Structure formats: C-alpha cells, structure tokens
C-alpha cells in the first residue's frame, strides 16, 4: 500500500457519514475515530491504523473539490459488493464491475460518483 491515509472534504458531513459508514464496511473498515462535526476516520476493524485510513471532513466552503479515490479490494466479489452497496446508498454508477484492460490485464474495478461528485473506485488486481 503506497498511501497510508487519505481524507476528503464533503459538503454535507452527516450525509457523507451515512453513505461511507456502510460502504466502508464492505472492506472491513469502521469509523473508529470520530470528532463530531469535524472529522471521521475509518480504520480496518482488525488491522487498525497499520492498514491505513480513510477520512471525511466538512468543507469550509459551499462546495467540495472533486477527487478520485481507488480502494483496494481483496476479490472480484468485493468489487461487486462495493458497487452494489454504493448504488443502494444513492451513488451513481460511473462504470460497472468489470475488467479494465486499458489499466492492466487483471485490473477488475467498478466506479461510482458520490453525492459530492467524487469518483470512488474499488479495484482488484487479481493474482498479477
């Protein structure tokens, strides 16, 4: 893992938490660090901070900066579960689960757009 942690700015902090809390459960992450109305950090339930974290903070302006984040999945099934859960939570499809040979021969991914316009991806690289 190259990136240890990343945080994004969101327009509606409560709505973002309601979206990302169940979505991050797909990867085994829970909101284990929470400062009300300021920051929520999601950490792997068993590996903790050693596995890295993903965080949310409210934007200080009336908009958020659109970002792209790719989460590492442990299987194709986890990519598919991520996509299904994200759509159930209100995300828009930005690319259904499938192989993306333009990125690599075993690159299996899906993409969704969250309420703030961020492009969120789950990717499994197979046994490359």
Count CA atoms within 13 Å of residue 4 on its CB side. 3
CB-based contact 38:86 (threshold 8 Å): no
- CA-CA distance, 53 to 63, in Å (whole number)? 23
CB-based contact 22:84 (threshold 8 Å): no
pTM score, whole prediction: 0.87
Tokens of 54: 């993903």
Could you say which of 3.40.1160.10, 3.10.180.10, 2.40.50.100, 1.10.287.1120 is the CATH number of the domain covering 5-124? 3.10.180.10
56-102 pLDDT tens trace = 999 887 766 788 999 999 999 999 999 999 999 999 999 999 999 99
């Amino acid at each position: 893992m190259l990136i240890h942690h990343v945080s994004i700015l969101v327009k509606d902090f409560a709505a973002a938490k309601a979206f990302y809390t169940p979505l991050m459960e797909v990867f085994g992450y829970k909101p284990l660090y929470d400062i009300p109305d300021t920051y929520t950090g999601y950490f792997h339930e068993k590996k903790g901070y050693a596995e890295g974290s993903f965080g949310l903070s409210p934007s200080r302006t009336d908009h958020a900066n659109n970002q792209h984040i790719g989460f590492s999945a442990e299987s194709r099934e986890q990519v598919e579960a991520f996509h299904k859960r994200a759509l159930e939570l209100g995300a828009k499809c930005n690319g259904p689960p499938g192989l993306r040979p333009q990125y690599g021969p075993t690159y299996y991914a899906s993409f969704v757009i969250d309420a703030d316009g961020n492009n969120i991806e789950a990717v499994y690289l197979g046994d490359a």
